[in-house]
């Protein structure tokens, strides 16, 4: 098991490290332990960070946006000395970060409203045939084999293609996007790669936006989401170029690692639990509760908040500038809210999970993510109904901001 | 039984709509509204309770 580059964890109460191997592989036991010993843990690794583990604390913090600001949402912070003043990028281009996720009201409110209609149920159902076709094509490529890597050959390939379609960027960029997003979110301890990845994303999207602007000014009709933001600039002067860029960055990044992780976790679970796989095949009508349960039990996303003023929260002295990790995954394992939280029950009836967050930042792409999960899983089990995770030791989990399997050997039983 | 979505609490998680599209409609922004101002059909009461118990924002109110 790997220790993080900051050395072994002395104790989880006041020296936690979410990139420690034990946390990556099995954070559940650590949260259970903390809920009993110290429900809001603390660590001075990577700045001063608090780690709440109960549903009540996490949802309370998520709703107090005045005290807990979203202007710093990365769980592994950028090294302080680094700023966006390099080469040909004007630091002001990222003046707003990536709204709405890095914004507080009022900026949050109107930038969020701009994107929500793009992920309504009706709109999302338009992307369903495309998602189906992507999944089927991937499966056709490996269906004759006896083993595949369910993470890189399947799960990873789906969300990036769907979002590329929505943003109107070419499919042949998908491997590059995946590399950028992983360097930015997943390999966050390698600050040089991380810095380069965000730089590449910024430069690429600046190019895309410039190109679209020219086409639009020539009267071309473009119906992708980035072009929509550009066209909205005519209706709302508040949407300046930095807003268009920041929002495009978020839209490119937000749906890739997250949804891929959820699809991978679902396949891992089904490959480890043949009874659940059988039940899902025999009773496809439970798919909706199954998906919510997978999202609860294997919630991919942890976010961060920054404390805006000294405050005492549930006995913890939180100082201005310190960070709180929004541990939605731990909230979803809280025994006070979920009956037998450690049991994955695909028919769980009462499941108030917060895998998509809580409060005003509720995941904008939740409907899209759910649709992708549903299609990815059902297409897989319809075409390749019998598979197992042969050897759990070969599975590699990533974590930190986004948790999910990055290597997932699956064996088909024919 | 009457149901109501508290607009000040709803954040558009859509759980209610997935469970009971007969009872809730969601607008383009994802916010949910009850389809019924008066009593809901008796055979949907169980679904209404489920929707209420799955809403992560505690936004659905039920009055018997
Ligand atoms: C299973 C997959 C996904 C999970 C678990 C997930 C989780 C989350 C969470 C927890 C947040 C809240 C962040 C916070 O409180 O700071 C969030 C926000 C967001 N997500 Fe997702 N997400 C997923 C997929 C997607 C997809 C496919 C998109 C599409 C582009 C997307 C777009 C967004 C956006 C735009 C926000 C910002 C909303 C705001 O700040 O108002 N997500 N997501
Ligand atoms: S589940 Fe709750 S928050 Fe979500 S749409 Fe329904 S009422 Fe709103």
Contacts of B59 in chain A (CB under 8 A): none
Residues of chain A with C-beta less than 8 angstroms from the C-beta of B19? 288
Task: Specify burial of residue A372 (Cβ count, 10 A radius: 0-12, 13-18, 19+).
Answer: buried
Task: Give yes or no for a contact between B40 and A392, defined as CB atoms under 8 angstroms apart.
Answer: no
Nearest-atom number in ligand 2 for the CA of B12 is 5
With a CB cutoff of 8 Å and minimum separation 6, the contacts of B36 are B2, B3, B23
Report pLDDT for A80.
43
| pLDDT, tens only, A139-191 | 999 999 999 999 999 999 999 999 999 999 988 889 999 999 888 888 877 87
Q: What is the ipTM of this complex?
A: 0.96
Which residues is A325 bridged to in the sheet? A304
Between CA A390 and CA A82 the distance in angstroms is 44
- Among positive and negative, which fits the CA dihedral A394, A19, A250, A104? positive
Please count the residue pairs, one from chain A and one from chain B, whose beta carbons lie less than 8 angstroms apart. 50
- For B22-47, what is the mean pLDDT? 96
* Number of the ligand closest to the Cα of A121: 2
Q: What residue ranges of chain A have pLDDT lower than 70? A: 1, 78-93
Give me the residue from B11, B17, B30 closest to A359, CB to CB: B11
- % of chain B beyond a pLDDT of 70: 100
Regarding the beta carbon of A332 and ligand 1, being less than 6 Å apart is answered no
Four-residue CA torsion sign, A225, A98, A366, A270: positive
Q: How far is Cα A209 from Cα A230, in angstroms, rounded to an integer?
A: 8
Parallel/antiparallel/unpaired status of strands A387-388 and A409-412: antiparallel
Distance from CA of A343 to the nearest CA of B (A): 18
**pLDDT tens digit sequence for A20-35:** 999 999 999 999 999 9
Starting at the edge strand found earlier in the chain, the sheet holding A323-326 runs A40-43, A49-52, A323-326, A303-307, A68-69
Per-residue model confidence (pLDDT) at position A88: 54
Is-contact A367 A115, C-beta < 8 A? no
- The reported pLDDT for the residue numbered A273 is 98
CA distance A270 to A408: 12
Q: Quick one: pLDDT at residue A93? A: 66
**What's the distance, CA A237 to chain centroid?**
31
Whether residue B18 lies within 8 A of chain A, CB to CB, comes out as yes
Is A358 part of the contact surface with chain B (CB cutoff 8 Å)?
yes
Torsion of CA A291, A296, A299, A302, to 10 degrees: 140
Smallest Cβ–Cβ distance between A349 and the set B14, B30, B50 belongs to: B50
Q: What mean pLDDT do residues B43-58 have?
A: 97
Provide the whole-model pTM: 0.95
Predicted pLDDT at B54: 98
A283 in reach of chain B (CB within 8 A):
no
User: Which single residue is written with the structure tokens 């891929």?
Assistant: A260
Asked if B29 lies within 8 A of A353 by C-beta distance, the reply is no
Q: Does the CB of A63 have a partner CB in chain B at under 8 Å?
A: no
Among A79-83, A290-294, B43-47, B49-53, where is mean pLDDT lowest? A79-83
């Amino acid at each position: 098991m790997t220790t993080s580059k900051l050395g072994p964890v002395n104790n989880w109460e006041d020296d936690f490290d979410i990139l420690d191997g034990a946390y990556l592989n099995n954070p559940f036991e650590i949260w259970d332990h903390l809920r009993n010993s110290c429900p809001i843990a603390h660590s001075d690794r990577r700045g001063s960070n608090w780690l709440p583990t109960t549903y009540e604390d996490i949802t309370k913090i998520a709703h107090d946006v005045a005290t807990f600001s979203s202007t710093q949402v990365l769980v592994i912070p950028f090294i302080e000395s680094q700023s966006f003043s390099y080469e040909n990028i004007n630091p002001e281009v990222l003046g707003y970060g990536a709204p709405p996720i890095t914004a507080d009201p009022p900026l949050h409110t109107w930038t969020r409203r701009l994107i929500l209609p793009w992920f309504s149920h009706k709109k999302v159902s338009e992307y369903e045939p495309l998602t189906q076709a992507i999944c089927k094509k991937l499966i056709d490529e490996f269906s004759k084999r006896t083993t595949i890597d369910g993470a890189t050959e399947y799960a990873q390939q789906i969300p990036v293609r769907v979002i590329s379609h929505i943003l109107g960027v070419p499919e042949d960029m998908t491997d590059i996007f995946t590399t950028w997003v992983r360097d930015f979110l997943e390999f966050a301890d390698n600050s040089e790669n991380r810095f380069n990845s965000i730089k590449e994303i910024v430069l690429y999207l600046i190019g895309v936006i410039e190109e679209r602007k020219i086409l639009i000014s020539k009267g071309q009709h473009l119906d992708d989401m980035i072009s929509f933001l550009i066209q909205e600039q005519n209706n709302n002067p508040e949407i300046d170029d930095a807003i268009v860029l920041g929002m495009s960055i978020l839209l490119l990044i937000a749906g890739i690692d997250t949804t891929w992780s959820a699809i991978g976790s679902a396949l891992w679970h089904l490959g480890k639990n043949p009874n659940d796989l059988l039940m899902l095949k025999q009773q496809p009508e439970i798919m909706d509760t199954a998906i919510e349960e997978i999202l609860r039990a294997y919630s991919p996303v942890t976010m961060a908040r920054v404390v805006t003023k000294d405050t005492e929260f549930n006995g913890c002295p939180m100082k201005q500038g310190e960070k709180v990790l929004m541990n939605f995954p731990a909230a979803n394992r809280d025994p006070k809210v979920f009956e037998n939280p450690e049991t994955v029950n695909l028919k769980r009836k009462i499941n108030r999970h917060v895998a998509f967050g809580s409060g005003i930042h509720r995941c904008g792409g939740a409907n899209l993510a759910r649709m992708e999960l549903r299609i990815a899983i059902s297409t897989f089990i319809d075409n390749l109904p019998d598979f197992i995770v042969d050897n759990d030791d070969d599975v590699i989990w990533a974590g930190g901001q986004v948790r999910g399997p990055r290597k997932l050997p699956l064996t088909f039983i024919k | 039984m009457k149901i109501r979505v508290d607009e000040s609490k709803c954040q558009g998680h859509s759980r209610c709509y997935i469970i009971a599209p007969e009872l809730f409609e969601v607008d383009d922004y994802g916010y949910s509204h009850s389809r019924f101002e008066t009593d809901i059909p008796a055979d949907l009461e169980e679904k209404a309770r489920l929707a209420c118990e799955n809403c992560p924002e505690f936004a659905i109110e039920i009055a018997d």
